[in-house]
Amino acid sequence: MATHSSTTTQKHLAVLIDADNAPAAIVEGLFEEIAKYGVASVKRIYGDWTGPQLGGWKKVLLDHSIQPIQQFAYTKGKNATDSSLIIDAMDLLYTRRFNGFCLVSSDSDFTRLASRLREEGLTVYGFGEEKTPKPFVAACDKFIYIELLRDEAAQSPNAEASVESSVTPDAKPVAAEKPKKPKAPIGFITKILDDIADEDGWAHLSVLGTNISKLRPEFDPRTHGFKKLSDLIKAYPQTFELQARGASAGGTAMYARHKPPSK
């Protein structure tokens, strides 16, 4: 397991990006998301930089201090990028300098790598498209669909300003129809809550979130139209109760419970 001074609580993360299976459009949202989990101490991206297909990534590498790793396609139809990324991941693992890895790809070839890193006690955060094969998703501690990162980028003030500036005075912008958000897995959340609740039925909200992620690494309230788990819980007052309590270190702690049936 990685060794670090007890004076710091920040996780040191190695970010490894498969350029062949991740679009450059997510770069802003990607590193904002990674910042929630720790410090991106190493940032590397793998691909064949001699071709034009990675032009989008080339434009943003310097801005985000991402180190490009050149990998030639030695054999047509074989993905040498995967092998290079995996070898580097294992080299970084054995330095014992990291608490976790961020694997950015929708490729199931990294399933065993994710499992191996977790065997060493490291946290693995996966980032990929919704089409990512289930085995890779399940092999990660937490899996974030990059479509969510794209949605957040599109909703940012800068994105809105750029859209408005591109519209002529006489033209009326056409509101893009937003895809319908999938319904939240209320039954699943209820079962987890019942399993971890105290004698009065209450459970710390962060513990609830941790246990949900253990069973469904891909679970994310944003997928269902909610910014946080607490917002999702609040949206179902007929099923859940939410309570704020004073925390020992000051501030408040949120607790939730499955609402008892009315008598």
**Mind listing the pLDDT tens digit for each residue in 69-128?**
998 765 554 466 788 999 999 999 999 999 999 999 999 999 999 999 999 999 999 999
pLDDT at 89: 97
Asked whether the predicted pLDDT for residue 215 surpasses 60, the reply is yes
* pLDDT computed for residue 4 by the predictor: 43
Task: Work out whether strand 12-18 and strand 39-47 pair parallel, antiparallel, or are unpaired.
Answer: parallel
Q: Under the phi-then-psi rule, with left for phi > 0, alpha for psi from -120 to 50, and beta for the rest, what region is 253?
A: beta
For residues 89 and 177, what is the distance between their CA atoms, to the nearest angstrom? Answer: 41
C-alpha dihedral sign at 96, 97, 103, 107: negative
Superfamily name and number for 186-258: LOTUS domain-like (3.30.420.610)
Residue 224 confidence (pLDDT) above 60: yes
φ and ψ at residue 72, rounded to 5 degrees: -75, 145
Distances (CA, A) of 217 to 36, 134, 142: 16, 10, 4
8 or 202: whose pLDDT is higher?
202
What is the predicted pLDDT for the residue at 195? Answer: 93
Predicted local confidence at residue 107, as pLDDT = 92
Which pair of structure tokens corresponds to residue 101? 């890895």
- For the segment 225-236, the average pLDDT, to the nearest whole number, is 92
**pLDDT surpasses 50 at 8:** no
CATH class held by domain 12-153 = alpha beta
Q: What are the tens digits of pLDDT across the range 25-68?
A: 999 999 999 999 999 999 999 998 988 889 999 999 999 999 99
Chain mean position to CA 8: 23
pLDDT(229) > 60:
yes
| HEC sequence for 160-200 | HHHHHHCCCCCCCCCCCCCCCCCCCCHHHHHHHHHHHCCCC
Residue ranges per structural domain of the chain: 12-153, 186-258
Residue 132 has pLDDT above 90, yes or no: yes
In sequence order, what E strands does the chain have? 12-18, 39-47, 67-70, 100-104, 123-128, 142-145, 202-204, 240-246, 252-258
Q: What is the side-by-side order of every strand in the sheet holding 252-258?
A: 202-204, 252-258, 240-246
CA distances from 89 to 82, 113, 153 (A): 11, 8, 29
**pLDDT tens-digit profile of 149-191?**
876 656 555 544 443 444 444 544 444 455 677 888 999 999 9
